[in-house]
Amino acid sequence: MSKTRSQKEELLKKYKELIETRSGYLLVNSDKIDTATVTDLKIELKDAGANFSVLKNSIFKVALQDSKEPLEIQDFDGPTAIITFKQDPTQPAKLVKKVQKETELLQAKGGVFEGEFLTAERVMQLADIPSREELLSQLVGTMNTPLTGFMNALTGNVRGFTMVLKGISEKKS
C-alpha cells in the first residue's frame, strides 16, 4: 500500500530528526530476519539506549541528501533497517554481531558515527571494542597503578624501618 504525501512528509521529518538528534546510526538488512528475533533485538537495543526501525529507503535517502551526512552512506538498497544510538556505538554493534552469529540473518550495511562513514567491516570492528564504561574503568585502573606503586614504596620503607626498630628492641630485652 502506498503512502500519502502527508505520510511521506511526516516520515521525512522523522528521519531528519533521527539523523540530527542522534550521534550515529547503523544500517542493517531486514529482509530475512524473523519477528521473534527482531522483537528480542529491539528489547536489547532499548536497554542499551538504541532504537530499531525499518526504513523506507527512498524517503531516508532524501533525508540524507538534505542533511550533512557522508555521501557513501547513501549507497544502499534492498530492505533496510536503522539502529540509532545517542552515545556508545559499541553496544548496538555488539548486538548486531551477536544476532548475526546466532542466526546469520542480520548483516550490517554501514553506518555513521559523529559524521564519519562506517563500512560494514568497521561496524563489525566496533563490536570488538570494549564499551565506554569498560574503557573508563580501564583508564582509572591505569591511572591508579602508579599511585599504588608509590604508596607501596613509601610504606615499604616505613615498614622496613619499623621492623629494624622492633628487632633492636627485642634484642635489648
pLDDT in tens, 92-145: 888 888 888 888 778 888 888 888 888 888 888 888 888 778 888 888 888 877
Tell whether 94 and 139 lie within a shared domain: no
Q: Which domain holds residue 136?
A: 130-173
124, 93 contact by CB (below 8 A): yes
If asked whether residues 110 and 30 sit together in one domain, one would say yes
Same domain, 88 and 162: no
Is 34 found in the same domain as 11? yes
* 144 plus 98 within the same structural domain: no
Q: How many domains does the chain have?
A: 2
Q: What is the CATH number of the domain that holds 61?
A: 3.30.70.1730
Residues 142 and 109 in one domain: no
Q: Say yes or no to pLDDT of 91 above 70.
A: yes
The share of the chain scoring above pLDDT 70, in percent, equals: 98
Q: Are residues 67 and 105 in the same domain?
A: yes
Q: Output the pTM of the full model.
A: 0.72
Under 8 Å between Cβ of 120 and 70: no
Tell me which of 114, 129, 144 is where a domain ends. Answer: 129
In this structure, the answer to whether residues 37 and 110 fall within a common structural domain is: yes
Same domain membership, residue 59 and residue 97: yes
Amino acid at 158: V
Q: Which of 129, 147, 165 is the last residue of a domain?
A: 129
Residues 90 and 171 placed together within one structural domain of the fold: no
Res 171: pLDDT: 83
Residues 152 and 98 in one domain: no
Domain match, 80 and 114 both: yes
N-term to C-term CA, the chain: 100
pLDDT at residue 1 is higher than 60: no
